[in-house]
């Protein structure tokens, strides 16, 4: 038998607004209205301000470790813009705050979270998002399940999950892609290839020419785009979202971007990154690119920029103030939200948490287990005041 080709494929790269200001009028036509572009730019600047302030908070001991998103604003915000707020699930990794704000998460929640308080993860009612996932790539499977539930119920809802180049090495990433493709689930996979997984370059995660082509192996649509071009991001995510809604088919998107900051405030990227590389990417900063686009079209000027910078500072300062004013959680919180109903042993530990033996000595419990149970029933989980941040 002769040899024959059984499969051939191409992976497209999408860019609409290039770093020199060139704009693909055909692809970009009607994609985002002028007012929306201004709003997106304002959002990007505000998120950059949050990053700068969060960095200073950490350095001055007012906040724990924080992962800056600097340089990746277009990818997150463009994707969030292309999805339906209040309907579609956002399933983020730890570097994704910009998309969450766009879909309604108050900024002080994120600060509160990185200040060590779980209430920052207490997603308000009516918002469709999961808390930032700390383990790498694991959240991608949750997006699969959330999209599956939407399809099961016949809802017009999809799930979009964000992850990095490093996550594509994790088994859960491949299981998520495989599940979504084979079970026909409406998931948009957005890989933010920012070049680095802490100190390990993307080539150690993937030796193929693109990460995008990983989607091919699962029989799903895939595309690579300029992740620092917000127009390209909106285009590819909108196309993917439409496909997901229409046909319950997933898409794998590789957004090529760059982590301008350190991995987190606990990292020093100068140990492993060439400064020339960083300088090159600074010139591709998505904020600079979009500002130039607006200035070129007489949509923006220095005065508006000054005003925006002042507004952003004010908004972030207000969020910081709000987060810092929230009193520390109650010690008993660690018990009260573990189960819907507190098991007996946890009741006892909760009631005797200031003793050395944690209830080993039954006499520590006034009235014994029964009394403790009664006390807990009196302040049941359902009646307990939920202190939202």
Partner 1 sequence: MANLTLVQAINLALIQEMEKDDRVIVLGEDVGINGGVFRVTEGLHKRFGPKRVVDTPLAESGIIGASIGLAMAGLRPVPEIQFEGFLAPAYDQLCTHAARMRARTRGALTVPMTVRVPVGGGIHAPELHSDSPAAFYVHQPGLKVVVPATPYDAKGLLISAIRDPDPILFFEPKRLYRAFRQEVPEDEYTVPIGKARVVIPGDEITVISWGAPVVQCVTAIEQSDQSIELIDLRTIYPLDTEAIVNSVRKTGRAVIVHEAPKTAGLGAEVASRIMEHCFLYLEAPIQRVTGFDTVMPYYKLELEYLPEAERIRKAIQEVAAY
43 counts as catalytic: no
Q: Return the number of the residue (157 or 291) whose C-beta is nearest partner 1.
A: 157
Q: Which residues between 71 and 110 bind partner 1 (CB under 8 A)? A: 89, 91
The Cα–Cα gap between 285 and 230 comes to 11
The size of the interface with partner 1 (CB under 8 A), counted in residues, is 50
The contacts of residue 149 (CB under 8 Å, 6+ apart) are: none
Among 339, 374, 377, 379, binds partner 1 (CB under 8 A): 339
Q: Does 362 help bind partner 1 (rule: CB under 8 A)?
A: yes
Q: Return the number of the residue (28 or 145) whose C-beta is nearest partner 1.
A: 145
Q: Does 116 help bind partner 1 (rule: CB under 8 A)?
A: no
| Residue 120 near residue 114 (C-beta atoms within 8 A) | yes
Q: Return the number of the residue (343 or 367) whose C-beta is nearest partner 1.
A: 343
Set 43, 48, 95, 259: catalytic member: 259
The Cα–Cα gap between 252 and 99 comes to 18
7 counts as catalytic: no
Among 27, 38, 39, 183, binds partner 1 (CB under 8 A): 183
Q: Does 309 help bind partner 1 (rule: CB under 8 A)?
A: no
Q: Does 367 help bind partner 1 (rule: CB under 8 A)?
A: no
The contacts of residue 124 (CB under 8 Å, 6+ apart) are: 104, 105, 106, 388
Q: Does 118 help bind partner 1 (rule: CB under 8 A)?
A: yes
The Cα–Cα gap between 35 and 56 comes to 32
Radius of gyration of the chain (CA): 24
Ramachandran assignment for 375, one of left (phi > 0), alpha (psi -120 to 50 degrees), beta (any other): alpha
- Widest CA span in the chain: 86
Q: Return the number of the residue (138 or 309) whose C-beta is nearest partner 1.
A: 138
Q: Does 143 help bind partner 1 (rule: CB under 8 A)?
A: yes
DSSP at 136: S
The contacts of residue 272 (CB under 8 Å, 6+ apart) are: 196, 199
Q: Does 375 help bind partner 1 (rule: CB under 8 A)?
A: no
Q: Return the number of the residue (310 or 338) whose C-beta is nearest partner 1.
A: 338
Among 31, 38, 39, 149, binds partner 1 (CB under 8 A): 149
Burial of 268 (0-12, 13-18, 19+ CB in 10 A): exposed
Burial of 260 (0-12, 13-18, 19+ CB in 10 A): buried
128 counts as catalytic: no
Active-site residue list: 259, 263, 272
Contacts to partner 1 by CB under 8 A: 89, 91, 118-119, 121-124, 130-131, 133-135, 138, 140-150, 152, 159, 171-172, 175-176, 178-179, 182-183, 333-334, 337-340, 343-346, 360-362, 369, 386
């Amino acid at each position: 038998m002769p040899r024959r080709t059984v499969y051939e494929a191409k992976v497209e790269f999408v860019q609409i607004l290039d770093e020199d200001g060139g704009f693909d009028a055909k692809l970009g036509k009607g994609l985002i209205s002028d007012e929306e572009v201004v709003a997106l730019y304002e959002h990007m600047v505000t998120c950059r301000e949050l990053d700068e302030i969060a960095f200073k908070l950490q350095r001055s001991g007012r906040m724990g470790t924080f992962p800056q998103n600097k340089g990746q604003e277009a990818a997150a915000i463009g994707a969030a813009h292309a999805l339906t707020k209040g309907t579609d699930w956002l399933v983020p990794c730890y570097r994704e705050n910009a998309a969450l704000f766009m879909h309604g998460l108050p900024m002080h929640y994120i600060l509160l979270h990185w200040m060590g308080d779980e209430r920052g993860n207490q997603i308000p009612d009516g918002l469709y998002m999961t808390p930032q996932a700390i383990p790498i790539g694991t959240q991608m499977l949750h997006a699969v399940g959330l999209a599956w539930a939407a399809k099961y119920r016949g809802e017009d809802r999809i799930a979009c999950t964000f992850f990095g180049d490093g996550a594509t090495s994790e088994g859960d990433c491949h299981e998520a892609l495989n599940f979504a493709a084979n079970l026909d689930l409406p998931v948009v996979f957005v890989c933010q290839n920012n070049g680095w997984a802490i100190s390990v370059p993307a080539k150690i995660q993937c030796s193929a020419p693109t990460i995008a082509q990983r989607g091919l192996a699962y029989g799903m649509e895939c595309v690579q785009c300029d992740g620092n071009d917000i127009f390209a991001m909106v285009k590819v995510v909108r196309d993917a979202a439409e496909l997901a809604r229409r046909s319950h088919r997933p898409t794998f998107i590789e957004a090529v971007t760059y982590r301008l900051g350190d991995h987190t405030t606990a990292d020093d990227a100068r140990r492993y990154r060439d400064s020339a590389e960083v300088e090159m990417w600074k010139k591709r900063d998505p904020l600079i690119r979009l500002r130039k686009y607006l200035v070129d079209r007489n949509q923006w000027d220095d005065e508006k920029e000054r005003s925006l910078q002042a507004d952003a500072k004010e908004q972030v300062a207000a969020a910081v103030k709000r987060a810092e004013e929230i009193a520390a959680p109650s010690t008993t919180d660690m018990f009260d939200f573990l189960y819907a109903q507190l098991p007996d042993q946890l009741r006892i530990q909760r009631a005797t948490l200031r003793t050395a033996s944690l209830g080993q000595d039954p006499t520590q419990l006034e009235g014994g287990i029964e009394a403790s149970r009664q006390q807990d029933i009196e302040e049941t989980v359902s009646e307990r005041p939920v202190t939202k941040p």
